[in-house]
Each structure stands twice: as structure tokens, then as C-alpha cells.
Amino acid sequence: EFTISLWVKAQSTPNLNQRMFSNESFPGGDGSRNIVWELNFGAGETGRIVFGADGCCKWADAPAPRDKLTDDVWHHVVGLWKQPSLLVYTDGRKGLDKCFDGDSPNGDDPCNALPDLKAAGDPFIIGTRPNDTGNFNGLMDDVALLDRALSEDEIRTIMDDGLEAGALAVSPKGKATTTWGAIKSRNTRENFSR
């Protein structure tokens, strides 16, 4: 089980299938698309959220309750896998609770398994695809990837009060990016002083 939570302010664009988040192989890899979460701008689908997991319902398509997320307004969107379903919440409202399988005649086979994301070794990418296509056109904030499915109450708390209120905030002190920034800054100063 897992949850992806973020705020998005999307703009309308001719770009099809803008990735908000993905975990898929780089070009030349095995072609796996473990998790794809995008705004779909195909014919008749402007601004609809598609949340898919390969190996779990073959591109499970869970439309958001709102048809358009291209109104240049901030929206809180959450995608989660809680066996046996992929779920999407938009501004606290739950979308479809079915998992759709394009290969299934009735279109509602359950999600019983999800690829082992750590074993796959594919990168987690925010705002684009590994081949630098499908770039997200807009802004994102408060992006979180959690290793469990949040409850509706937890989703509302994060939407209303932010990640910190949901006890999900991370301190940057001692983290790799902070340490790397300090090293890079120190090396730059030393290079200029010689």
C-alpha cells in the first residue's frame, strides 16, 4: 500500500499526458511503468487525473471527481493504492473506488498485487518522464510519498492543515541535500579564493 499527496496548480496546455509523478524505467530500460500519475489532455479528457499502476490492473484509470484541473487554481490531489483498489481524491472528494483493467471484459478486476518498487530500481520522478517528455505545466507543492494508504481523515487533515500537521514534515538538518549544498558552497568559495 502507498499514498502520493500533492498540491497542483495546472495550466491548460497542448501537451498530452503531463506527468505529476512517475516511477518508470529510463529509455533503454525494460519499459516498465510501475506507477504513473498524470493529468490527461487527450481528446475530451482535458485536465482529468489518470492514476495507473502497471502490474496492478494494467493502467488502472481512476478519474478524479472534478473534470478539469486546468483552472489555474490550487487543488489538493491524492492517489493511493489500498488493496484491492487504486483511489483518487481531489480537494478531499473521493473518486471512483474501482480498479479498471483494459484487458478485462467487465473492466473491474481488483488490484491484488503491485510491483516491488524498490526491487525494480526505477527512479521516482516528479513533474516529467524519464525521457524528459510529458512535462507538467504548472506548479506543485507539498509533495509526499508514503508507504501506507492514508485514511480519509488523514487526507483531509493534510489538505486543511498541511503535511506538518499530519506529522509528515521532514527537517532538512543533516539530510543529503543540505549537506551537499554546504559542500558545494564551500568548494565554490575555495575555488574563487585561490
Asked if residues 60 and 54 have their Cβ atoms less than 8 Å apart, the reply is no
pLDDT tier at 125 (50, 70, 90 boundaries)? confident
Q: Is the pLDDT of residue 139 over 60?
A: yes
Letter string b/e over residues 171-191, b meaning 16 or more CB atoms within 10 A of that residue's CB:
eeeeeeeeeeeeeeeeeeeee
Domains and CATH numbers, the chain: 2-193 (2.60.120.200)
pLDDT score for 126: 82
Q: Is the pLDDT of residue 11 over 70?
A: yes
User: Which of 59, 87, 60, 88 lies closest to 75 in space, CA to CA?
Assistant: 88
Predicted confidence (pLDDT) per residue in 86-111, tens digit: 788 888 888 765 554 444 433 444 55
Q: Is the pLDDT of residue 59 over 70?
A: no
Q: How far apart are CA 57 and CA 91, in angstroms?
A: 25
Q: Is the pLDDT of residue 141 over 50?
A: yes
Map residue 123 onto helix, strand or coil: coil
* Beta-bridge partner residues of 40: 48
Q: Is the pLDDT of residue 192 over 80?
A: no
Q: Is the pLDDT of residue 183 over 80?
A: no
Provide the sign of the torsion angle of the four alpha carbons 131, 132, 137, 139, taken in this order: positive
Start-end of H helices in the chain: 117-120, 152-161, 176-193
Provide the sign of the torsion angle of the four alpha carbons 163, 121, 135, 14, taken in this order: negative
Starting at the edge strand that comes first in sequence, how are the strands of the sheet with 18-24 ordered? 48-52, 33-40, 18-24, 124-126
Asked if residues 22 and 132 have their Cβ atoms less than 8 Å apart, the reply is no
